Amino acid sequence: MQLVKMKLLKNNLLRILPVLLILIFTVAFSGTPGINERIKQAQAPYDKRIEPPIPLPVNTVKVLVPDQGGTFYTQTRKDQIKRFQCSACHNNKEVMIKNAARISHADKRIVHGSTSGPLDCNTCHSKENRDFLTTSKNRKIDMDHAYALCGECHFRQKKDWIGGAHGKPVSHWAGERVVKNCTSCHDPHSPRFKKRWPATYSPPFK
């Protein structure tokens, strides 16, 4: 008699189990607001997804080149230049001081380019509008987007920088990608790093 009751109970549970599972899932997901919308956003193109919960660091600009994984950001440049805007001095007013340019920019030494064809100020700085950089084809570039000018010659490094193989990340492993600008690490007037002894060394094996 006991065995028969057990079999009946088992059969009833097997019949009820699918209904119970459906009810559990219905209750669980009916209380989640916008679940279908979240699924759509997760499947949408990168630029249309949910905004990252981590705010971007201050003094960043959106990089104006396409990236393999979407958009990314870099550090600004103009707020790092002590005497910006350049047009405050480089204007149509008469210069009353002899050798004013050499005196005001005495700390700048251009060691950039080859020995046969070194660069000068106007290779990168616009003559018409001193607050902008300029390409060889006279295209104006905002100083915050200095990477666009550097990439005119250093195109391999720029390609690696866009892909993430060159340049240092600033923050946001879990949010939008933020990397250092070319001029954050390299002095644009003398971009080669100076040689120095390593900060640490490997001790000899015993």
CB atoms within 10 A of CB 164: 14
Question: Are 74 and 147 in contact, with CB atoms under 8 Å apart?
Answer: yes
Question: Are 24 and 31 in contact, with CB atoms under 8 Å apart?
Answer: no
- Residue 10: which domain range? 2-43
In this predicted model, what pLDDT tens digit does every residue of 70-111 receive, in sequence order? 788 899 988 888 778 787 777 877 777 787 777 777 777 888
Rg (C-alpha) for the chain, rounded Å, is 30
CB atoms within 10 A of CB 40: 11
Quick check: is 200 in a domain? no
Q: Mark whether 14 and 100 lie in a shared domain.
A: no
Take residue 111 and report the two structure tokens written for it. 């060691």
Interatomic CA distance for residues 21 and 193, integer angstroms: 65
Element (H, E) at 88: none
SS3 165: coil
Q: Mark whether 9 and 71 lie in a shared domain.
A: no
Q: Mark whether 100 and 142 lie in a shared domain.
A: yes
In this predicted model, what pLDDT tens digit does every residue of 123-168 receive, in sequence order? 888 888 888 998 888 889 999 999 999 988 898 999 898 888 898 8
- Position 96 scores a pLDDT of 77
Whole-angstrom CA distances from 85 to 82, 120, 130, 131, 168 are 9, 20, 8, 6, 27
Q: Mark whether 75 and 114 lie in a shared domain.
A: yes
Interatomic CA distance for residues 147 and 132, integer angstroms: 13
Q: Mark whether 89 and 33 lie in a shared domain.
A: no
Q: Mark whether 108 and 119 lie in a shared domain.
A: yes
Q: Mark whether 36 and 84 lie in a shared domain.
A: no
In the chain, % of residues over pLDDT 90: 10
Task: Characterize the bridge pairing of strands 140-142 and 132-134.
Answer: antiparallel
Task: Characterize the bridge pairing of strands 178-179 and 169-171.
Answer: antiparallel
In the chain, % of residues over pLDDT 70: 76
- Position 30 scores a pLDDT of 57
Partners of 187 in beta bridges: 190
Query: How many domains would you assign to the chain?
Result: 2
